[in-house]
Structure 1
């Protein structure tokens, strides 16, 4: 049963379709009250070759589906990059534009990286979901159709949101912590999942744990899946030599054991970081598979 707050948001968003939405490219600060543990003397943020590094001011960038095709579903997109950089254009903007074509709005997350390590990327993604849900009326969003999508280390962050959405590490004591941070669905692209030797991506593990061995269990997300983990589709390839396909297999197995609905597609060909690249055989068909899954879950219309 929907809560009174969600019912009110659903009613208000239903009448918003004909109203003016914020402009495409609107940037929302995640921490208007001040970024937790911000490193004042740190190296400046950089943007080069379509990638961000040294992020100290986390933000969300809004990509509108357009009122003529928007269906109320939205996705917080987490670019990959080993918790070292953010592949902003290839694993961020490209996904946002694909989602827009399906009638799905997108919020591209610029999160903190290796300069901070855990729990700060987790705090950023959970604050992102809470922000979108709390401002659902403003953006024409169904507060019960908010998903998360991520690639590689961004997939680890998206899976962290899917499993650690109520963990104390993801909260700061702000009033908005009362808003649910649980995503309603997840799309994981060749995700880092495990911190286990021989399975993990070593760079991601080093950058997110910063050498703290106590975090290896918590951030091995196959061990954090529960029945509350949202429905998830996972895309990976057998050819991936950077993040072994065992990561996807472990997460999907944990989902099956917990009774979490989901689908897993493992394609033979396609390198790590394939994103939406064409010419990779059947692996380049993954957007059609993902769209079909979204339709099956009534997250997009049958003609989208």
Structure 2
């Protein structure tokens, strides 16, 4: 879909070519009252509600910055930046792609309105989530501060892809003038860190997936390309270049393009007959051609057929007589898997085990949560908006009080030390699983011990106090276990039923999630877990019953609701109850099974191939 070596000449013209879930990692949100002068200008330059984050932990400044005490100010342009930020601009209908925008200014100042926030607004109109970067200027002696900020910005966006609802493999960079030079550096030097790691986010790749250069500066000197750009490290990164014929940097850009051509990079190069340098969205008509280029990428990626390839399945825990009902999360660059340990499936001595691993291969116990007077069941784990782990489950009280069933939550900063239990939801409603979206937790509880089973939808801002959002969400066919996933603001609920009508259901709702439409998925399921890929594809891991119980990975058609089995994991007998995490273009799936004689915990890796 890319036009390789495309040089277009237009008669009468001349040659043609930040921002917003679950939890933010590696950076702090910047309160409105702490915004720097440049941030305030960016916020006021375009309508809408946007969010700002520091690029660096702590107070947002790097301790080794020789100009860390510089006082930022605005004089038609942003100057003396010592506290770099990233502004998140999210479109109404996101398509899963992201572009990180770097304004120009000769590395002396930032033209952050016409080459930053207004560019983000234009990207939003195409469904692209924009991230406008206020990087450090002016240049520092001995420190490449702009490149440090640029590499960190890419890691910040990719490391928080789930939070922002974007595809971590569809993150591009776009720069103007000096910002174009900076973007080119991220493409040609992604394999060389410009700073020492400061936290776990710096283990994330800083390689952009595509690059847009608008009247880029400093690519060379006197028509000879700079040594920084003479080697192409990855020839698969598509690059779009646009400049005017009378731009002072045209000869240097013309010396850069042959480097791309020789390396067989999928580039598109536009040169316009008339135009000016430093004009942002104006100056010469590059916008339409760039929109077409971006749309061709979106359409081509949307048409790619998804293939699921099972790479590995490994038993990771079997120390209790019965190990079952799992969930999985990635937190602080580690894996955490939770599940129930007990004597048997229905015994009254259940405890919740937390195990952890750095690589998914070697696992150790991090915690064991017990109760003297109840059986703990159905561990589920998530990351809260304030960066803590939340473990939830339910207890079956040993005594026989009126309220025998109670849902619970615990919290931890590290996965090893956990808080005391919190009672959540209503008594005798089993709150099955919690999903975080835009700072709120959503979960569905099913009634226990009642003559007729019903579902109740809850929401919470802190995971400790849950309010009823819908009192009777569904009550046909003995509904019980559920999983919720979001695609943008559209909520999907995968539902198990065990009554005379036993096929599962797919629920669909829009904010405020008080009205739901239900579609039959055409199969009986158990232990559902559901996620949504950035391209909108719903993926579920469930227990299927036809032909014998097994744990399977399935695709769900969001329009029809129909479920299609794609992969069967090694499993059988007492099995399923999975956790799913998408990481490194793979699905990591925890589940349990007794097919080898004892209910044990397994971890599988599934490659996503497009």
Contact 2:62 2:68 in 1 (8 A): no
- The separation in 2 between residues aligned to 1:298 and 1:116, in whole angstroms, is 38
Question: Which residue of the other structure, out of 189, 202, 206, is the alignment partner of 1:177?
Answer: 202
| C-alpha displacement of 1:73 | 0.5
- The separation in 1 between residues aligned to 2:252 and 2:118, in whole angstroms, is 24
Name the structure 1 match of 2:75.
48
Contact 1:159 1:193 in 2 (8 A): no
Question: Which residue of the other structure, out of 96, 109, 113, is the alignment partner of 1:89?
Answer: 113
| Structure 2 SS opposite 1:298 | helix
- The separation in 1 between residues aligned to 2:67 and 2:278, in whole angstroms, is 32
Structure 2 alignment gaps of length 5 or more: 1-20, 23-47, 303-610
Of Structure 1 and Structure 2, the greater helix share is in 1
Contact 1:193 1:221 in 2 (8 A): no
- The separation in 1 between residues aligned to 2:250 and 2:75, in whole angstroms, is 29
Name the structure 2 match of 1:58.
84
Contact 2:219 2:253 in 1 (8 A): no
- Asked if residue 295 in structure 1 is aligned to residue 295 in structure 2, the reply is yes
- The separation in 1 between residues aligned to 2:200 and 2:175, in whole angstroms, is 27
Q: TM-score, normalised by structure 2?
A: 0.39
Name the structure 2 match of 1:136.
161
After superposing on structure 2, the runs of 4+ consecutive aligned residues of structure 1 that deviate more than 4 Å are 299-302
Q: TM-score, normalised by structure 1?
A: 0.77
Name the structure 1 match of 2:572.
none
Structure 1 alignment gaps of length 5 or more: 1-11, 14-22, 201-216
- The separation in 1 between residues aligned to 2:238 and 2:218, in whole angstroms, is 16
Question: Which residue of the other structure, out of 213, 233, 238, is the alignment partner of 1:226?
Answer: 233
| Structure 1 SS opposite 2:87 | strand
- The separation in 2 between residues aligned to 1:299 and 1:174, in whole angstroms, is 36
- Asked if residue 236 in structure 1 is aligned to residue 243 in structure 2, the reply is yes
| C-alpha displacement of 1:54 | 0.5
Contact 2:107 2:139 in 1 (8 A): no
Question: Which residue of the other structure, out of 149, 165, 188, is the alignment partner of 2:213?
Answer: 188
Contact 1:72 1:141 in 2 (8 A): yes
Contact 1:227 1:259 in 2 (8 A): no
Rg larger in structure: 2
Question: Which residue of the other structure, out of 272, 282, 290, is the alignment partner of 2:277?
Answer: 272
Name the structure 1 match of 2:259.
254
Question: Which residue of the other structure, out of 70, 76, 99, is the alignment partner of 1:75?
Answer: 99
Relative distance call for 1:290 and 1:254 in structure 2 (3 A) is: same
Contact 2:220 2:252 in 1 (8 A): no
